[in-house]
Structure 1
Amino acid sequence: MNKEDFSWKDYHHQIYQIYHGIIAITLVPFALLFLQWDSESLVAPVDYSSLLFILVIQSLWIIGYLSWYAWKGGKVQYDLIDGLDLLEKLKEFRKKNLFKYALLALGGAIASFAMWVQPSFIFVIAYLLILVQFSFLRPSEDKIVRDMRLTKNDRKALHESA
């Protein structure tokens, strides 16, 4: 991405495509599992002492940690680095957000898999909470500008390059 080829509209559209694509990757399997889910036919005696049950329930901790890390983790926080020009900041921002979305996608995939292994609405709720978190991390222009702490001049420069 160099200054001559940069377009804010294309950059923003690319981030939105990544965002929606990653959501779709987890939403499709979840929706298919959920639509096939007939709670009466899936009622089976649960052996609470089985290793499989214990592992599946432990996946809730993993989902919770991934969800927390997508908000507060060290590798997803945007750092202000002196000396970077606007395009380099945008590259760094895209990389950080891709990592955030991948963490949430992994959490959604774990919730879907756990729901498939051990039918329980707790995993449906966990997945829906991941979707809510995705909605809070939606890459709107205002959120990008706020997260990167861009000045009004930087924002104006973004639109001039379009």
Structure 2
Amino acid sequence: MEVKPNDWKDYHHQIYQIYHGIIAITLIPFALLFLEWDSGERKADASIEGLSFILFAQLIWVIGYACWYAWKGEKVQYLISDEMLLSEKMQEFKKRNLRKYGILSLGGLIAAGAMWIQPSFIFVIGYFAVLVQYSFLRPSEDKFVRDMRLTKEERDALHDQTQKKRHLF
């Protein structure tokens, strides 16, 4: 099954929608909790000497592991070969990146949840670390070409589809 016209553009648009949707899933609770801090209802005045802070601070390691696993984990590594068709490479890229985004969203939700239970700016920093990872894993065309090790013919096939559609209108 080769890529049909319009497939690349639709595929890329779909991946971007998923990417931004997953970021929003974690950003909304984080932003609401952060605004609650600023409203004066719940100030971030947690004592760093308390036992609960020490226990919740261990979640930073979990968030750090999620960020690491999104890059180096066994389940997120691409399984590609030179014999794969372009459509198979597109499916592999989508599948592995969905896992990466899911792992990062788990880390973001842990940071937001920990921030809700134990108000501390250490969890804000942890959440921003997750956001930075999202930006590095943004599903751009260059990242797709690089990660899937596309040949020149495959790259041309992607661009030919885009050019054909432009000439139709």
TM-score (norm 2): 0.86
Aligned to 2:31: 31
> Alpha carbons of 1:46 and 1:135: their partners in 2 closer, same or farther (altered >3 Å)?
closer
Does the Cα contact within 8 Å between 2:16 and 2:139 map onto a contact in 1?
Answer: yes
1:75 partner SS: helix
- Offset, 1:7: 1.2
- 5+ unaligned residues in a row in structure 1: which ranges? none
Aligned position for 1:13: 13
More helix by share: 2
Deviation at 1:82, TM superposition (A): 4.3
Tell me which of 48, 51, 55 is aligned to 2:50. 48
Residue by residue, what CA displacement relative to the aligned partner does 1:31-82 show, whole Å, maximum 9, x if unpaired? 0000110497532556623xx4343112111101000000111111112224
Map 1:28-107; keep pairs closer than 5 Å: 28-38=28-38, 41-42=42-43, 43-44=45-46, 48-49=50-51, 52-107=52-107
- SS of residue matched to 1:112: helix
The alpha carbon displacement at 1:5 in A equals: 6.8
SS at match of 2:150: coil
- What is aligned with 1:154? 154
Let me know the Cα RMSD of the aligned residues.
2.1
Question: Identity percentage over the alignment?
Answer: 64
SS in structure 2 at match of 1:83: coil
Specify every segment of 5 or more residues in structure 2 that has no aligned partner in the other structure, as ranges.
163-169
3-state secondary structure, aligned to 1:161: helix
For 1:61 and 1:123, locate their aligned partners in 2 and report how far apart those are by CA, in whole Å: 11
Mapped partners of 1:3, 1:136: distance in 2:
27
